[in-house]
Amino acid sequence: MTISVGDKLPDVTLVKATEAGPEKVQSSEYFKGKTIALFSVPGAFTPTCSARHLPGYVDKADELKAKGVDEIVATAVNDAFVMGAWKAANGADAVTMLADGNGDFAEAVGLTMDGSGFGMGKRGQRWSAIVEDGVVKELNVEAPGDFSVSSAEHLLGQL
């Protein structure tokens, strides 16, 4: 079942990419008490994700925070080392990277995709959400191959 507006995010273990190395976090604790602009990409370093998706959130970080967002979080079915390298390569200090290496989070929210045709296996779909205290307030799921409603600009308009 796909997560919907009004649902609480599922409680799974994610791995936060930090300068000190990978740090396990429980999603139920991590999202508690904060307003988070959350976005998911099929993969770090993939073309649309690196050229448009992540840069949009970096560029709009101050505007999102001015509208009440406490933190901007990116997730992908990649390991924490890849997520950390992606953050560094893109100067994305304003974005917290939460690795979903096994795809548990993508599976739990019901937003997986099959990237086998591209040699990527099971991945998370491209989407964004406003999450308040662990509850989904806005949810924007892209159609396969699209990039519009999960953008930072679109999410900013929902705040």
Predicted local confidence at residue 147, as pLDDT: 81
Across the beta sheet with 135-141, the strand order is 21-26, 13-18, 95-99, 71-76, 35-40, 127-132, 135-141
Predicted local confidence at residue 49, as pLDDT: 57
Closest CA relative to residue 41, chosen from 23, 65, 24, 57: 57
Catalytic residue among 9, 14, 37, 49: 49
The answer to whether the beta carbons of residues 57 and 37 sit under 8 Å apart is yes
Cα(143)–Cα(96) distance, integer angstroms:
25
- Domains, the chain: 13-157 (3.40.30.10)
- How high is the mean pLDDT in each 10-residue block of the chain (159 residues)? 90 92 94 96 73 82 96 95 91 94 93 68 83 96 84 92
49 has catalytic annotation: yes
Predicted local confidence at residue 44, as pLDDT: 81
Predicted local confidence at residue 2, as pLDDT: 86
Predicted local confidence at residue 93, as pLDDT: 93
Does the predicted TM-score (pTM) go above 0.85? yes
Cα(100)–Cα(107) distance, integer angstroms:
10
